[in-house]
Amino acid sequence: MDIDALAGCLSSSACLVTQTTSGLIIGMLLFLVAVGLTLIFGVLKVVNFSHGAFYMFGAYFAMTAYQLTGSFALAMLAGAAGTAILGLIFERVFMSRVYGADVLMQVLVCYAFVLIFDDVVRMIWGPEFKAMGMPAAFQVMPLFIAGGVVPPYYLLLIGVALLAAIVLGIGLSRSRIGKVIRAAAHNPGMVSALGINTGMIYGGVFALGGMLAGLAGALAAPVRSLTPGMGFSVLIESFIVTVIGGMGSILGALIGALLLGLIRSFGSLGFPLFTEGLMYLFMVFVLVSKPTGLFGKEAA
């Protein structure tokens, strides 16, 4: 424990800015992964245990696309589009077979794919740590805000994630397809009664969830090292986010992710070895005081 370091940081604006920014990027990345998880759970009532793999694939796709084309924009596109397609296939071919089955069965199918996907990555890209490297466009002087160092890429990352959150929020509440998705989350029978193909909706939601996780992976690729199995810790953290925020709640996912990001970045100063423990403690604390999460609906 290092309470002095934490207290010292809290009294210095430079350190506050740095830690808050790093908390925000952790939080925004987590949000992108968690919101897909929560959407999939909300609509399909399936806990996608393999969601971390989409984050991982997003990062690897982006790295390969960047190495081939040298274009950062194409790298992001490859990460997002590749995982969207992957999500669609995964849902249509495998997950659609276990709807309505025991939760255990669904978790097992996902668990199988966690194992398979990790090995596939190991086969294609090798077991060692990889780095995509910071794109040239962002290799510029960092910004100084109130004395704190903020790399420009961090701002881009936060901006893109925020944009995704806004588009998603508006899309779900305003557009027709968004309304259908929310209706499907509420009552699957009603949607098919309206003559809308639930299979399309389910596949689409899975693709969307996969795409968001993939985008998170692609955005993270320049600042994180890539390794098979990198999805798992992200998965666990996004679970914590969804559980804290409330399963199925998008706003909950955003708040939960930001809280967790800040806990991580400030916790790493005060409790360098127990940062993860802090997150779990926080989750336990939230669930004990409100068992359905901060924004969760009371279970029927």
Partner 1 sequence: MTELEAGRAQALVPVRSGAVLQRYRDVLIALIAFAVLASLPLFTGSKALLDFVIRCSAYGLFATSLNLLVGYTGLTSFGHGMFFGLGAYSFGLIMQKLGLPIPAAFVATLAITAVFAAIIGAICVRLKEIYFAFVTLAFQMLIHSTILSWASFTGGDQGLRGGIPRPVFLGIDLSNHVHLYVTSCALLIVGLLAMRQIAQSPFGYTLRMIRDNAARASFLGIDVWRAKLTVFVLAALFASMGGMVMALFVSGAYPEFAYWTISGEGIFINMLGGVSTFLGPMVGTVLLLLLNDTVTRFTEYHGIVLGVVILFFALGLRKGLLDFVAEWYAHRRETGEER
Based on the shown chain and the rule CB under 8 A, indicate whether residue 98 belongs to the binding site for partner 1: yes
In the bound state with partner 1, the residue whose beta carbon lies nearer, of 116 and 190, is: 116
Based on the shown chain and the rule CB under 8 A, indicate whether residue 292 belongs to the binding site for partner 1: yes
Give the interface segment with partner 1, choosing from 72-80, 120-128, 177-185, 188-196 (CB under 8 A): 120-128
Separation CA 199–CA 209 (nearest Å)? 15
Based on the shown chain and the rule CB under 8 A, indicate whether residue 239 belongs to the binding site for partner 1: yes
Separation CA 12–CA 22 (nearest Å)? 16
Give the shortest CB-299-to-partner 1 separation in angstroms.
Answer: 5
Map residues 270-289 to x or -, x wherever contact with partner 1 holds by CB under 8 A. ---xx-xx--xx-xx--xx-
In the bound state with partner 1, the residue whose beta carbon lies nearer, of 72 and 206, is: 206
Based on the shown chain and the rule CB under 8 A, indicate whether residue 109 belongs to the binding site for partner 1: yes
DSSP string computed for 244-278: HH-TT-HHHHHHHHHHHHHHHHHHHHHSTT-HHHH
- Tell me the sheet residues that pair with 145: 148
Give the shortest CB-144-to-partner 1 separation in angstroms.
Answer: 33
Based on the shown chain and the rule CB under 8 A, indicate whether residue 126 belongs to the binding site for partner 1: no
Q: Please answer whether residues 161 and 30 qualify as being in contact, where contact means their C-beta atoms are separated by less than 8 angstroms.
A: no
148, containing H or E segment: strand 148-150
Based on the shown chain and the rule CB under 8 A, indicate whether residue 113 belongs to the binding site for partner 1: yes
State the number of binding residues for partner 1 (CB under 8 A).
40
Separation CA 169–CA 257 (nearest Å)? 16
The two structure tokens encoding residue 10? 């809290």
Give the interface segment with partner 1, choosing from 5-13, 112-120, 129-137, 161-169 (CB under 8 A): 112-120
Give the shortest CB-108-to-partner 1 separation in angstroms.
Answer: 5
Q: Please answer whether residues 239 and 150 qualify as being in contact, where contact means their C-beta atoms are separated by less than 8 angstroms.
A: no
Based on the shown chain and the rule CB under 8 A, indicate whether residue 31 belongs to the binding site for partner 1: no
Separation CA 132–CA 290 (nearest Å)? 41
Residue of 243, 250, 253, 269 that binds partner 1 (CB under 8 A) = 243
Q: Please answer whether residues 138 and 156 qualify as being in contact, where contact means their C-beta atoms are separated by less than 8 angstroms.
A: yes
Residue of 15, 86, 240, 257 that binds partner 1 (CB under 8 A) = 240
The two structure tokens encoding residue 213? 């996780």
Give the shortest CB-275-to-partner 1 separation in angstroms.
Answer: 8
Q: 172 Cβ partners below 8 Å, 6+ apart?
A: 178, 181, 182, 250
In the bound state with partner 1, the residue whose beta carbon lies nearer, of 154 and 239, is: 239
Give the shortest CB-243-to-partner 1 separation in angstroms.
Answer: 5
Give the shortest CB-60-to-partner 1 separation in angstroms.
Answer: 16
CA atoms within 13 A on the CB side of 232: 10
Whole-number Cα distances in Å, 140 to 73, 220, 223, 268, 270:
18, 18, 15, 27, 31
Question: What does the binding site for partner 1 look like in residue numbers (CB under 8 A)?
Answer: 47, 94, 97-98, 101, 103-105, 107-109, 111-116, 118-120, 122-123, 236, 239-240, 243, 247, 273-274, 276-277, 280-281, 283-284, 287-288, 291-292, 299
